[in-house]
Structure 1
Amino acid sequence: MHKVLHVGPDTCYVVSKLQKEDETEAWGIEPYDIEDADSSCKSLIRRGNVRVADIKFPLPYRPKSFSLVIVSDTLDYLSPRYLNKTLPDLVRVSADGLVIFTGFPSNQKAKVADVSKFGRAAKMRSGSWWVKFFLQNNLEENEAINKKFEQASTQSSFVPKCQIFHLKSLH
């Protein structure tokens, strides 16, 4: 059984899709306001599958609670001060690794809607900035998974519109 935690906007959608997969338990943290959430999202929140929480604070999970943690469109809105606390905490709750989706550096301007929804503009950081940040926090990229992902992307002609990082969990 795989236990997956998704952190980011549209968590309800991602969790509902993952729950349909065999051998997968899915949980989510929605770090932003969900006042316009639909009934299925509200149901996931009532059942406890999705939490609305500020990820700047420690996550309410034990170490290695999840096989995989997926973080999308969230870390770009945190200052380095909060990243120093949040990213290691996300790694802490992962048993097998962390997948991070961050903004693409060539798209430097956040949309006005993004600024108002999240309260601040995203900081589009380069791949080298992230690698340096990972090293400073003793976080290691999973090169084997990176290679597999690149091979699969090449075979299917997939070109991501964001940066994707695969980090190892802490052992």
Structure 2
Amino acid sequence: MGSRESLSVAITACHKHVCSIEGGSCTLEVLQAIPILKKAYGESMRKVLHVGPDTCKVVSKLLKEDGVEGWGVEPYDLEDIDASCKTLVRKGFVRLADIKFPLPYRPKSFSLVIVSDALDYLSPKYLNKTLPDLARVSSDGLVIFAGYPGQQRAKVSELSKFGRPAKLRSSSWWIRYFVQNGLEENESVMKKFEQAASKRSYKPSCQIFHLSS
């Protein structure tokens, strides 16, 4: 998976009551977790790329954080977006790109990459290609928010946008998958995240796994 020695991954599986918004989106949890992730990853949060639907919301939040540059990739469509999102697109902060193919960025273009509601819609064939590419453009880490098995995801009317029904994988599946790809738990980041969450009285509504290669 490219430069695995510098890669750290956090896998987040959202529970029903959190991810039921916006057709099963984990965007709300991403927005809530940004300050905690900033404490846990420190300098690795200096230049962040978010990949997933509703990326404009995440990028807007990132740009409000001190010392953080926020960029976004919308993997599905940019139709019916508001004026704020149109501004981010016009200025180049947000772009549309099919993540089944290599992202239009040079290696290690970002210190941290955050992905939500994107890998759930990839078949294993494309997942095996997309994850290494996400790692390629990240220098310090990759944070993945994935759906929780059994939760309601995209509505039938939205399937044309996502291309296929979501494949909601269990946390044990993800653990096996990353172990098979040479990744292991990043205890340092995990402890920092837990400490930051405790100080802010932040109680994650997701299962969170911090992994490193």
TM over 0.5: yes
SS at match of 1:67: strand
Instruction: Give the whole-Å Cα distance in 2 for the aligned partners of 1:114 and 1:103.
Output: 16
Is the helix fraction higher in 1 or 2? Answer: 2
| Contact 1:11/1:28 (8 A) holds in 2 | yes
The Cα shift of 1:151 comes to 4.4
Name the residue aligned to 1:159. 204
After superposition, the C-alpha distances for 1:96-125 in whole angstroms (9 at most, x for unaligned) are 111110011242x43425535413211110
Change (3 A) 1:4 1:136: same
Runs of 4+ in structure 1 deviating by more than 2 angstroms, as ranges, are: 113-117, 135-143, 146-157, 162-168
Three-state SS of the structure 1 residue aligned to 2:193 is helix
In structure 2, list runs of 5 or more residues that go unmatched: 1-42
State how far apart, in whole Å, the 2-side matches of 1:33 and 1:120 are. Answer: 15
User: Number of paired residues?
Assistant: 167
Structure 1 position 74 matched with structure 2 position 102: no
Q: Match of 1:25, as an amino acid?
A: E
Q: Is the partner of 1:37 in helix, strand or coil?
A: coil
2:135 to 56, 77, 91: 91
Q: Match for 1:99: what amino acid?
A: V
Deviation of 1:164 after TM superposition, in Å, equals 3.7
Measure, in 1, the Cα distance between the counterparts of 2:98 and 2:172.
27
Alpha-carbon distance, 1:9 to partner = 0.9
Deviation at 1:95, TM superposition (A): 1.3
Q: Aligned-pair distance for 1:142?
A: 2.2
The aligned residue for residue 94 of structure 2 is 50
SS of corresponding position for 2:110 = coil
For residue 75 of structure 1, report the CA deviation from its aligned partner: 0.6
Q: Which residue is 1:20 aligned to?
A: 64
Looking at structure 1, the residues matched to 161 and 208 of structure 2 have their Cα atoms a distance apart, in angstroms, of: 23
Structure 2 CA distance for partners of 1:114 and 1:103, relative to 1, 3 Å: farther
Shift in Å, 1:47: 1.2
Structure 1 residue aligned with 2:191: 147
Q: Please name the residue that 1:138 is paired with.
A: 182
Contact 2:154-2:166 at 8 Å conserved across structures = no
Which structure has more relative contact order (CA 8 Å, sep 6+)? It is 2
Q: CA, structure 1 residues 167+55, in 2 after alignment: closer, same or farther (shift >3 Å)?
A: farther
Q: Distance in 1 between matches of 2:77 and 2:174?
A: 27
Map of 1:110 onto structure 2: 153
In 2, Cα distance between equivalents of 1:80 and 1:157: 33
- Tell me the amino acid that sits aligned with residue 203 of structure 2: F
User: What per-residue deviation string (whole Å, max 9, x for no partner) do you get for residues 76-108 of structure 1?
Assistant: 01011001010111111111111110011242x
In the TM superposition, residue 59 of structure 1 has moved relative to its aligned partner by 1.1
User: Which segments of 5 or more consecutive residues in structure 1 lack a partner in the other structure?
Assistant: none
Q: 1:56 to 1:167 in 2, by over 3 A?
A: farther
